[in-house]
Amino acid sequence: MHVAMVGTGYVGLVSGACLAAIGHSVACVDADPVRVDLLSRGECPIHEDGLDRLIREGMAAGRLGATTDLAAAMDGAQVVIVAVGTPSLDGRIDLSAVEAAAHQVGLALRGRRDRPVVAVKSTVVPGTTATLVRRALEEASGGRAGREFGLAMNPEFLSQGSAVTDFLHPDRIVVGEWDPRSGELMAELYRPLAAPLLRMGLAEAEMVKYAANSLQALLISYANQIAALCEALPGADHRRVMAAVHLDRMLDGPEGRRAGATRFLMGGIGFGGSCFPKDLQALTVFAHRLGVPVPLIAAISAVNAVRPAQALHLLSSRLGGLFERRVAVLGLTFKPGTDDLRESPGLKLIDRLRRHGAEVLAHDPLPQARTRARDAGLPVADRVEDALAGANAVIIATAWPQYRQLAWSALGEVVVLDGRNLLDGLDLPASLQVVRMGAGPVSPEVPTP
Ligand SMILES: NC(=O)c1ccc[n+]([C@@H]2O[C@H](COP(=O)([O-])OP(=O)(O)OC[C@H]3O[C@@H](n4cnc5c(N)ncnc54)[C@H](O)[C@@H]3O)[C@@H](O)[C@H]2O)c1
C-alpha cells in the first residue's frame, strides 16, 4: 500500500520506516526541512536501535522517501497517518499541530475520488478524531468522512529505546474507525504483522492509549510508594519486597508467567519522557471536563513528582548535606536507548542539586544528548572519567548498560546513588557507599539478610 506519514518524530519516523520494512511504500512528511534533508540523505535524525538500518534499506529499495511537500506525499496514498506532536501547554493538551496537519491534509484531499483513509496516530484525548480532526478535514476538503475519505484512530504503543522491535512485534494493534471501510483498510495495512488487531470506535481507541499509559505509570508510582516506605524502614529493601510481589500469579499472562508488568513494578527515581507526564495531565484535565473524579490518576503524577526530592534526601543524609559537594550525574536521557531528554528525571535531579549548592558535572553516552543538555546551560563532561574525577557522589540517573561496566573499584570512597537499580548483582568494593533506592537505613538492631 502507499502511505503518507505526516510528522516524522520518534513515532512517525519509526512507524514510517517499519511500514516500509514490511513492504509498503511510505512517503514521510515533516514541516522541519532540516529533518527532511537528513532523511533524504539516508541519515537518521534520532537515536533508536535498528532505525538507521531500516531507513537506509527502505530508501535503497525505493519504498521510503522524505519530503516537506504534503500534497506530493499524499499523491496516490491510500492511507494518510498523522503522527505530529501533542505536547502539554499550560497543563492542557495542545492539539494545534494535529488540527493544522488535519487542515493541510484536508486541502490535499480536495477533489480526490479514491477515498483515502486519514488515521490519527498522535495521542489525542477521546473525542478529538471524531470532532476536531473530522471537522478540519471536512472543512478543508469539502468532502465528508466516510464518503469522500475514511477516518480512523490508530494509537501507537511503541516505547522509545525499543521502538523498532515494539512496532514490528506489537502486543496488539488498535484501530478505531468512523466507518467499516476505514477499519478494513487499516487492518490490511497491518496484515503482515502477527499481532491481535482490535477494531473499535474512535473514542475507544483514543481511550485505550490513555488507559494503557496510565496503567504503566501507575505500576511505577505504586512501586515507588512502596520504595519510599522501605526507605524509612530500618533494614528493609524494596527489591526483596517487590521480588516476592512479582511472583503473584495475578501478574501471569494467559500463556504463563510474563516478565512484562514486573518491569514497571520496581522503585527508582521516577518516570519521565514525552508521554507519561503529559498524557496523565491530559487525562486528568479531560476527566475534569467530563465531571468525573479521577483521584487515582492524579496521584500517579504526585507520587512521581516527589521522587527526585526523596532520592536527594537519601544522598544528602549520607553526604552530610549537598552544599559544595561534587556530584557526577550519569545519564541525561529519560531512559536508555533514546536521545530524548524530555521530562528526564536526571535533569530534574541536576536542577535540584544545583539549587542546594552542589557542584554538578553530568554525562551521557550519547553525544547528541550531551550537546542538547549543554545548549540548555547544563554542565556536561564529554568523558565519563572527567565527570567522575574528584566527585564526592555519583548518581545513576539513566540505566545505560555501559555505566554498569565502569571501573567502580577505582573510584575510592565515593557515595553512589543507584537511581535505576543498575548495579544490582555487581560485586562492588567496600570503599563505595552504595545508596539504593527503596532501601532503608542499616540498623545495628535490625539484622538484614
Ligand atoms: N514518543 C513516544 O514514545 C510516543 C509513543 C506513543 C505515542 N506517542 C504520541 O505520538 C505523537 C508524536 O510524538 P513524537 O514523540 O513522535 O513527537 P515529536 O515531537 O518527536 O515529532 C513530531 C514531528 O511532527 C512534525 N510536525 C508537526 N506539525 C507538522 C505538520 N503540520 N506537518 C508535518 N510535520 C509536522 C514536527 O516537525 C516533528 O518532527 C504524540 O501525540 C505522542 O504523544 C509518542
Instruction: Reply yes or no on whether the pLDDT at 252 is more than 90.
Output: no
Mutational test site, ligand 1, from 5, 15, 30, 38, max ligand atoms within 8 Å of CB? 30
Q: Which of 274, 283, 368, 372, when mutated, tests ligand 1's pocket best, judged by the most ligand atoms within 8 Å of its CB?
A: 274
| Residues forming the active site | 275
Query: What's the CA dihedral at 124, 122, 262, 287 to 10 degrees?
Result: 0
Is the shortest distance between the CB of 28 and ligand 1 below 6 Å? no
Closest-CA residue to 89 (of 217, 278, 302): 278
Q: Do 2-200 and 239-436 agree at the fold level? A: yes
Q: Whose CA is nearest to atom 20 of ligand 1?
A: 9
Residue 281's contacts (CB-CB under 8 Å, 6 or more residues apart) are 88, 91, 92, 93, 301
Burial of 135 (0-12, 13-18, 19+ CB in 10 A): middle
CA 3 – CA 79 distance, rounded (Å): 5
Distance 109 CA to ligand 1 centre (A): 22
Pocket flag, ligand 1, residue 104 (CB < 6 Å): yes
The 3-class SS string of 349-404 reads HHHHHHHCCCEEEEECCCHHHHHHHHHCCCCECCCHHHHHCCCCEEEECCCCHHHH
Residue 261: per-residue pLDDT: 75
Query: pLDDT-derived band of residue 406, with 50, 70 and 90 as boundaries?
Result: very high
85 within ligand 1 shell (Cβ under 6 A): yes
Would you say residue 448 has pLDDT above 80? Answer: no
CATH classification of 239-436 is 3.30.559.10, yes or no? Answer: no
Q: How far is the CA of 98 from the centre of ligand 1 (A)?
A: 9
Percent over 70 (pLDDT), the chain: 98
Average pLDDT over residues 414-419: 96
CA–CA separation, 153 and 155 (whole Å): 6
CA-closest residue to ligand 1 atom 17: 85
Closest protein CA for atom 44 of ligand 1:
11
Instruction: Return d(Cα 294, Cα 288) in angstroms, integer.
Output: 8
pLDDT tens-digit readout, 9-48: 999 999 999 999 999 999 999 999 999 999 999 999 999 9
CATH of 2-200, one of 1.10.640.10, 3.40.50.850, 3.40.50.720, 3.90.1720.10: 3.40.50.720
CA of 246 to the centre of ligand 1 (A): 34
User: How far is Cα 26 from Cα 5, in angstroms, rounded to an integer?
Assistant: 7
Helix, strand, or coil (residue 117): strand
Cα-based angle 388, 393, 397 (whole degrees, multiple of 5): 80
Mean pLDDT computed over 261-285? 92
Atom 26 of ligand 1: nearest residue by CA position: 7
Is pLDDT of 163 > 80? yes
- What are the C-alpha distances in Å from 301 to residues 174, 260, 407, 419? 26, 22, 36, 18
Share of the chain above pLDDT 90, in %: 91
- pLDDT above 60 (res 258): no
Residue 446 has pLDDT above 90, yes or no: no
- pLDDT, the chain, mean: 95
Residue carrying C-alpha cell 548535606: 321
Q: What is the structure's pLDDT at 133?
A: 98
Residue 106 has pLDDT above 60, yes or no: yes
Q: Label residue 114 exposed, middle or buried (CB < 10 Å: 0-12, 13-18, 19+).
A: exposed
Ligand 1 atom having least distance to the Cα of 160: 3
CA pair distance 388, 158, nearest whole angstrom = 34
CA 123 to ligand 1 centroid distance, Å: 9
pLDDT digits (tens, 9 = 90+) for 305-360: 999 999 999 999 999 999 999 999 999 999 999 999 999 999 999 999 999 999 99
Render 167-201 in DSSP notation, one character per residue: HHS-S-EEEEESSHHHHHHHHHHTTTS-S-EEEE-
DSSP-assigned letter for residue 66: E
Question: What is the Å distance from ligand 1's center to 178 Cα?
Answer: 23
Residue 401 exposed, middle or buried by CB count within 10 Å (0-12, 13-18, 19+): exposed
The answer to whether residues 90 and 26 touch, using CB atoms and an 8 Å cutoff, is no
Which residue's CA is the closest to the ligand 1 atom numbered 31? 101
Amino acid letter, residue 128:
T
Domain boundaries along the sequence of the chain: 2-200, 239-436
Q: Place 248 in a pLDDT band, splitting at 50, 70 and 90.
A: confident
